[in-house]
Structure 1
């Protein structure tokens, strides 16, 4: 399954090739282009066909 296809606004992700960007929040996911706001990099548009973002789990407590 293509994880990028299920990403929705508000989900937290990491860019596997840019760990120094930190955890980003998905802003939009339109036609395979995922816009993510990273705290240390700002807003980045990622081609979901080239980069598989890593979902970050959030501790519910």
Structure 2
């Protein structure tokens, strides 16, 4: 049985699959906390990092595990 260092975390966290955003480039979105930014367009979505161009805020990088962008039609 391996000896665990007291500072080590259990390995169960490592078993989770990496986060993948459901957003795709070109998709229109809005930020739930900043409606004044207007309708944004997803530029890229890599892992949890989603880059969105908003007309009234410019380019914003969002952590999609924290902020749940609203998909627009």
TM (norm. structure 1) is: 0.85
Q: For residue 17 of structure 1, what is the aligned residue in structure 2?
A: 33
Higher relative contact order (CA 8 A, sep 6+): 1
Higher Rg = 2
2:66 aligned partner: 50
1:5 aligns with 2:21: yes
- CA-to-aligned-CA distance 1:11-34 (integer Å, 9 cap, x gap): 000000000000000000001100
Q: Distance in 2 between matches of 1:5 and 1:28?
A: 10
- TM normalised by structure 2 equals 0.71
The unaligned stretches of length 5 or more in structure 2 are 1-19
Task: Number of aligned residue pairs: give it.
Answer: 54
Runs of at least 4 residues off by over 2 Å: none
